[in-house]
A and B are shown apart, each in its own frame.
Chain A
Amino acid sequence: MRNVQFREALREAMSEEMRRDENVFLMGEEVAEYNGAYKVSQGMLDEFGPKRVIDTPIAELGFAGIAVGASMNGLRPIVEFMTWNFAILAADQIINSAAKMLQMSGGQYSCPIVFRGGNGTAGQLAATHSQSFEAFYAHVPGLKVITPSNPYDAKGLLKAAIRDNDPVVFLESEKMYGDKGDIPEGEYIIPIGVADVKRKGKDVTIVSFGKIMKVAFEAAELLAKEGIELEIIDLRTIRPIDYACVVESVKKTNRCVVLEESWPLASISSEISYHLQRYAFDYLDAPVMRVTQTDTPFAFSPTLIDEALPNVERLIKAVKQTLYRN
């Protein structure tokens, strides 16, 4: 095993796949000569040259569209967005073009393309730079959506995403790029659509994904001291969701809290809650609870940020509500 940063794991995934397949290339703002706004693509220009590691102008809609057209015509682009907030400008190409192409062309043209970049809150960046897009993109048939929470998952899932023949939305975090984790020496791939039980427990199931999972791990340690054992599920893939993993866990624990970094309305937590009341109704001993960001645009002030984001205290409170304890 090697201990590497999240950004290194992503870089290894891209570089390995580019060595394996000539048709894979990387494009985006600052990915080449600047070595990546967050240094994910550091050194890749040196290895692969300007034909395959391509700096773009600040034109998200344009370069996303060029990538979609290239993917229809035999290439496998990786498109880096500096953050997913900026990719809203490219949403037409992601949602109207890439997600639709295979179906709309009667199976004649697919879009094997990975759109990736930083997602979610990242400190005091205020409202336009702090949004999470899992629910936005998970809503769209034709897309796959991945949110890894650690370097090991990030590498294995990004390799799977690059080899996938459908467009994949790959959501990272500026706050996670420096996180370290162990990855094996050899090649490995993590299949899309498979959740991972990150911690076993018998009392309450926590369903989460991405960097906010750290809150769950911290809460689990504290609650263990009180004799409450959390089972923590990392969805890893948001579309397709591994519902079976969630239902199996809840059949054992009979209680569930969904922990999500983003807003509550039309969210992944509302989707999981629906699914549990539909497919695990007889197993539930308490209503499904959730802890999400407050239903407001994200603020700049640290005081307001603390109020807005899910935290250990709020998660513990929700867990105890499912146990009818104070």
Chain B
Amino acid sequence: MAVKTANKPTKNTKKASASQSSKFTKDTYVKWYKDMLLIRKFEEKTGQLYIQQKFGGFCHLYIGQEAIVAGTASACKEGDKHMTAYRDHAHPIALGTDPRVLMAELYGRSTGCSKGKGGSMHFFDKSKGFMGGHGIVGAQIAMGAGVAFAEKYAGTDNVAFVSMGDGAVRQGALHETFNMAMNWKLPVIFIIENNNYAMGTSVERTTNVTDLSKIGLSYDMPSRAVNGMSPEAVHEAIAEAAERARKGDGPTLLDIRTYRYKGHSMSDPQKYRSKDEVAEWMEQDPIEHCLRVIK
């Protein structure tokens, strides 16, 4: 039976975006639109090919969550580093990796971004600062802080962006890392791609603290919730956090509330949520939203 979820979509109205659009140029909207559409189409094609058994392994699609990587990509700079978990197809695309080398990786080819050694869950592109693609839930949280550690050690103003799902918040690695990242003021931004489901288990069923933006507070980490269906909101939150990190003021936790339209992986029957819930979130689709603003 589907359960009520704490997260509700925030409306992306054209009116709201028109008022916000003064902050962002039409070029920015066009860039977001193109990036997100490319990701959406890549993922739709990936899903089709997977069903046709063109390649094997696990396959986790990013459809619905595109505004997070689009808003991050527009707010970061060259030299910044990016790391995520296994739902990793969108990040390198947003950073400019040729989708063909990603598709080659899905096919297990030596021409793939990880030479066919990594597959869907382990994309890497060093030339774009994309440091994976990691298969163990929460492991990338500590590694990402380590990436930031090296930037601070070298005295750069680069920032490490570490993405995780809402399920990873329950791993001990997160809490150990948050503690050290704050203690050492590491230039790292922790991004929860909060789609409200750890595979089939909703946030509400695994914790009493359903507002994940509060998780950082016990480490005195600046933390906030962000509308993940809005590239504008993501961009602004990322830019603010990055500025703080570049100044040497340490980490930020962003609980970016989003939704995946598809199942956890390609083999997910999605019995844990209602069609109405999915439809409600799809009404706030970030790609449609950008198109409305551009028009």
Decide: A104 and B118 in contact? CB cutoff 8 A: yes
Contact of B150 among A61, A64, A75, A92 (CB under 8 A): A75
What 1/0 flags go to B120-144 for Cβ under 8 Å of A?
A: 0010111000011111100101111
Residues of B within 8 A of A64 (CB): 142
Docked complex Cα distance between A65 and B154 (Å) = 19
Decide: A103 and B149 in contact? CB cutoff 8 A: no
Asked if B173 CB lies within 8 Å of chain A CBs, one says: yes
**Which of A105-113, A130-138, A226-234, A287-295 forms part of the interface with chain B?**
A105-113
Decide: A62 and B136 in contact? CB cutoff 8 A: no
Residues of A within 8 A of B47 (CB): none
Docked complex Cα distance between A229 and B180 (Å) = 55
Residues of B within 8 A of A3 (CB): none
Q: A67-B146, A93-B142, A108-B126 are in contact. Are A62 and B179 (CB under 8 A)?
A: yes
Question: Residue of B at shortest CB range from A67?
Answer: B146
Minimal beta-carbon separation of B289 from chain A (angstroms): 34
Question: Residue of B at shortest CB range from A23?
Answer: B153
Minimal beta-carbon separation of A91 from chain B (angstroms): 11
Docked complex Cα distance between A106 and B122 (Å) = 10
Asked if A321 CB lies within 8 Å of chain B CBs, one says: no
Q: A51-B153, A96-B139 are in contact. Are A56 and B147 (CB under 8 A)?
A: no
Residues of A within 8 A of B148 (CB): 69
Contact of A108 among B124, B142, B151, B175 (CB under 8 A): B124
Asked if B117 CB lies within 8 Å of chain A CBs, one says: yes
Residues of A within 8 A of B10 (CB): none
Question: Residue of B at shortest CB range from A103?
Answer: B117
Decide: A92 and B147 in contact? CB cutoff 8 A: no
Decide: B139 and A93 in contact? CB cutoff 8 A: yes
Residues of A within 8 A of B118 (CB): 104-106
Residues of B within 8 A of A68 (CB): 142-143, 146
Size range of the chain A interface in the assembly: 20 to 34
Minimal beta-carbon separation of A96 from chain B (angstroms): 5
Minimal beta-carbon separation of B89 from chain A (angstroms): 16
B interface, by DSSP: helix, strand, loop or mixed?
Answer: helix
Asked if B60 CB lies within 8 Å of chain A CBs, one says: no
Minimal beta-carbon separation of A67 from chain B (angstroms): 6
Asked if A59 CB lies within 8 Å of chain B CBs, one says: yes
Docked complex Cα distance between A69 and B143 (Å) = 4
Query: Which interface residue of B118, B135, B179, B180 has the most chain A CB atoms within 10 A?
Result: B180
Q: A66-B177, A106-B112 are in contact. Are A74 and B149 (CB under 8 A)?
A: no
Size range of the chain B interface in the assembly: 35 or more
Decide: A56 and B180 in contact? CB cutoff 8 A: yes
Asked if A97 CB lies within 8 Å of chain B CBs, one says: yes
Minimal beta-carbon separation of B153 from chain A (angstroms): 6
Question: Residue of B at shortest CB range from A95?
Answer: B136
Decide: A73 and B139 in contact? CB cutoff 8 A: no
Decide: A65 and B173 in contact? CB cutoff 8 A: yes
Q: A97-B134, A108-B124 are in contact. Are A69 and B145 (CB under 8 A)?
A: yes
Asked if A25 CB lies within 8 Å of chain B CBs, one says: yes
Asked if A72 CB lies within 8 Å of chain B CBs, one says: yes
Minimal beta-carbon separation of B149 from chain A (angstroms): 5
Decide: B124 and A66 in contact? CB cutoff 8 A: no
Asked if B81 CB lies within 8 Å of chain A CBs, one says: yes
Docked complex Cα distance between A79 and B174 (Å) = 19
Asked if B262 CB lies within 8 Å of chain A CBs, one says: no
Minimal beta-carbon separation of B286 from chain A (angstroms): 30
Jot down 23 A-B pairs with beta carbons below 8 A, ordered by A.
A23-B153, A57-B176, A61-B172, A62-B177, A62-B180, A63-B176, A63-B180, A65-B141, A69-B131, A69-B160, A73-B147, A75-B150, A96-B135, A97-B134, A97-B143, A104-B132, A105-B118, A105-B122, A105-B126, A105-B132, A106-B114, A108-B125, A109-B124
Chain B residues engaging chain A, CB cutoff 8 angstroms: 81, 83, 112-118, 122, 124-126, 131-136, 139, 141-151, 153-154, 160, 172-173, 175-177, 179-180, 183
Chain A residues engaging chain B, CB cutoff 8 angstroms: 23, 25, 51, 56-57, 59, 61-75, 92-93, 96-97, 101, 103-109
